[in-house]
A and B are shown apart, each in its own frame.
Chain A
Amino acid sequence: MWFLALKQLLARKRQTLFVIGGVLLGTAAYVLISGIMLGFQGYLITKLIDNDGHIHIAAKEENITRYSLDEALFGGQVLVDWKKFPSGRRDHAKIEHPSGWFELLDNDPRVLAYSPQINVQTLAQRGVISISARVVGVDPTKQERVTNINSYIQNGRLSDIGKAGNRIILGKQLMLKLGANVNENITLSTGKGAALSFRVVNYFETGTRAVDQGVIYAALADAQKLNRTPSQITDISVKLADVTEAKNVANGYARFSTDYVQSWDEENQSVFSVFRMQTAIRYIMSLSILLVAAFGIYNILNVIVTQKRKEVGILRSMGFTGQDVSRLFLYQGIVFGVFGGVFGVIIGYGACRLAGTYQIGDPLGTGISSLVVSYDIQIYLNALALAIGASVVAGWVPARGAGKLNPIDIIRSDG
């Protein structure tokens, strides 16, 4: 039946091209919309993941409540009635058993790298200017393996700060605000002791304002000394071999630890609800385009079946079955789907390439100034499956009708 199906399609070139064009537009639109949306999502996700590791382990900041002291003071057996409730916060948060974490992380095959950190709130001063900033004390070689901080530093790398020696790398905005420059000194103070002097060895620019205005990287030992908490850490940033495992691993850790353990996707819930919304919009748009195309296929095949009733009758008299006749029309639907799908994917790819050259400036300051477009093979497979699926369904209904036509009703000339 392929022979006749193709002959019939070729005999109506304009109509065939028109229908294929409809499917093509739907498919191309799906590829383009998906490419742009997924490209944007992928871009954001990479930024989120790479800036901060896949799992974040942090010390819990514990507030003192009316029950907090009962057990320590009264053994928990007595009902205590305070005249004035104890309140306040524990002096500083810290991870209680860092060595336990290190052992666990060292032995977990899913963990690629991890970086212990201490986060310290400080006042950065240069001359008369002082700005509050967060010092992140890291082991630079470990931190480099967990995040892509190096890609935000020009002419240098994070390990330039060394293991100790009061060297820092800070956000560019912060440096500008302080009026400082590379190779100049600034002082950092926490209010707990004497201020320490640090030398600026370089600066970074991530494009995220909060980070660029408020973060200073220092060596772990220096930051601990500044905070007067030697060998304490407040955070551990973990990088996994497989990002998608993050939630599982984090949940596993959280079960036996009192520390705060969250995967990157849990920390960025709001972003993901936006993604879900985008995905829904993407499917609705593409499906409505494909629906129109499928309706076109359905309509045209219906008309063709009606026009070809006599020929259906003659085919049946030759011994072709109703199934053969159905196939004749179903194949035409498949041709619409396959050609529309394949060319739609090709044109969609071209449109994506074109969109990829569109300049949107560099709002995130990452050096990527054009639209990020995803070329995930899954988009293309989905597009093909949608186009062919829609065409088969749209072709199947009239084809089945044609297979059920009774030959005798069609060809009888008279009584």
Chain B
Amino acid sequence: MGIDARNIHKFFGTPGQEVLKGIDLHIDEGEFVSINGRSGSGKSTLLYILSSLDPASAGELELDGKNIHAMSDEQLHRFRNEKMGFVFQFHYLLPELTAIENVLMPTRKTKSENARRTRAIDLMNEFGLSDKLKRLPGELSGGEQQRVAIARALIMEPSYIFADEPTGNLDSINGDLVMQIFRRISREQKTTVIMVTHDPDYAALADRSVHIADGRIVV
């Protein structure tokens, strides 16, 4: 189980520039993995291919033991909704919705927003946002916005968290807070966390670091 990627290739543009040159990677359930490497090394591309958001040009990908090519579009979307959470460098909160509405947005896919409301409030309390439930994203600080975004990623109790430079826009205090959260969900809820970062200190907090250079995994 977990994530199993075999011989992943990715080309961009014409003539094809090969960004990923045959990646083999297995990530266990509950593992906290950081992917690091220089800008342009292909680390974000790998993350999005592992999350099924971006299709690989060649190679096989299994999520939870299921080959994603064998899944219908509807199954894939459902899988993404129920099993995956995304955290990006920028928070991408919907500006028209309050913090709590943003956190509950993924639950609207399955119309379970009322059932999950208590969990949303618990998550926001846990992240020190108990007095910010009804605030619009524009009224929150950068660190608060990112924590709301993480709460949104966790609302469906996903098995996988994909984080693309989640601390990239944060100061060190807020960055540390985010890392603590990842550390805790990985340890306590056995959530698999895959995080792209170029910060060596944060990369070192993961169970395992995968280094990418020139489209290949370097050990």
Question: A residues near B, CB below 8 A?
Answer: 1, 3-4, 7-8, 10-11, 310-311, 313-321, 324, 407-408, 411-415
List 9 interface pairs A-B (beta carbons < 8 Å), by A numbering.
A310-B90, A317-B86, A318-B80, A319-B79, A319-B109, A408-B48, A411-B92, A414-B39, A415-B44
Binary A-proximity of B11-52 (CB < 8 A = 1, otherwise 0): 000000001000000000000000000011111110010010
Main secondary structure on chain A at its contact with chain B?
A: helix
Chain B 85-111 interface residues, beta-carbon cutoff 8 Å to A: 86, 88-90, 92, 94-97, 101, 105-106, 108-109
Shortest Cβ-Cβ A-B pairs, 8 listed: A319-B81, A319-B80, A11-B96, A415-B40, A314-B92, A408-B54, A318-B106, A7-B96
* Cβ–Cβ contact B53 & A413, under 8 A: no
Question: B residues near A, CB below 8 A?
Answer: 19, 39-45, 48, 51, 53-54, 73-74, 77-82, 84, 86, 88-90, 92, 94-97, 101, 105-106, 108-109, 152, 164-165, 168
Of the candidates A318, A324, A413, the one whose C-beta lies within 8 Å of that of B44 is A413
Q: Besides A408-B53, A413-B88, 12 other CB < 8 A contacts? A: A4-B94, A4-B108, A310-B90, A318-B80, A318-B106, A319-B106, A411-B53, A411-B164, A412-B44, A414-B44, A415-B39, A415-B44
Q: Which of A8, A319, A412 is the most central at the interface, judged by chain B CB atoms within 10 Å of its CB?
A: A319
* Cβ–Cβ contact A415 & B45, under 8 A: yes
CB proximity of B56 to chain A, nearest CB, Å = 12
* Cβ–Cβ contact A412 & B82, under 8 A: no
Q: Which residue of B lies closest to A412 (CB)?
A: B44
Residues in chain B near residue A412, CB distance under 8 A: 44-45, 48, 54
Given A321-B74, A414-B44, A10 and B96 contact (CB-CB distance below 8 Å): yes
Residues in chain B near residue A3, CB distance under 8 A: 108
* Cβ–Cβ contact B96 & A413, under 8 A: no
Given A4-B96, A10-B96, A413-B164, A319 and B88 contact (CB-CB distance below 8 Å): no
Of the candidates A311, A313, A317, A413, the one whose C-beta lies within 8 Å of that of B89 is A413
Q: Which of B94, B101, B105, B106 is the most central at the interface, judged by chain A CB atoms within 10 Å of its CB?
A: B94
Q: Which residue of A lies closest to B40 (CB)?
A: A415
The distance in angstroms between the C-alpha atoms of A151 and B19, with both chains bound, is 91
Q: Which of A313, A316, A320 is the most central at the interface, judged by chain B CB atoms within 10 Å of its CB?
A: A320
CB proximity of B5 to chain A, nearest CB, Å = 16
The distance in angstroms between the C-alpha atoms of A310 and B93, with both chains bound, is 9
The distance in angstroms between the C-alpha atoms of A306 and B142, with both chains bound, is 24
CB proximity of B17 to chain A, nearest CB, Å = 10
Of the candidates A7, A320, A413, the one whose C-beta lies within 8 Å of that of B97 is A7
* Cβ–Cβ contact A324 & B109, under 8 A: yes
The distance in angstroms between the C-alpha atoms of A1 and B51, with both chains bound, is 24
CB proximity of B174 to chain A, nearest CB, Å = 18
The distance in angstroms between the C-alpha atoms of A321 and B81, with both chains bound, is 10
* Cβ–Cβ contact B81 & A318, under 8 A: yes
Q: Which residue of A lies closest to B149 (CB)?
A: A314
Given A319-B77, A319-B106, A311 and B19 contact (CB-CB distance below 8 Å): no
Given A8-B96, A408-B54, A318 and B89 contact (CB-CB distance below 8 Å): no
Q: Which residue of B lies closest to A313 (CB)?
A: B92
* Cβ–Cβ contact A407 & B39, under 8 A: no
Residues in chain B near residue A415, CB distance under 8 A: 19, 39-45
The distance in angstroms between the C-alpha atoms of A7 and B168, with both chains bound, is 30
Residues in chain B near residue A321, CB distance under 8 A: 73-74, 77
The distance in angstroms between the C-alpha atoms of A412 and B77, with both chains bound, is 19
The distance in angstroms between the C-alpha atoms of A88 and B147, with both chains bound, is 106
CB proximity of A180 to chain B, nearest CB, Å = 81
The distance in angstroms between the C-alpha atoms of A4 and B93, with both chains bound, is 12
The distance in angstroms between the C-alpha atoms of A407 and B44, with both chains bound, is 14
Q: Which residue of B lies closest to A316 (CB)?
A: B53
Residues in chain A near residue B109, CB distance under 8 A: 318-320, 324
The distance in angstroms between the C-alpha atoms of A11 and B96, with both chains bound, is 6
CB proximity of A65 to chain B, nearest CB, Å = 82
The distance in angstroms between the C-alpha atoms of A310 and B137, with both chains bound, is 15
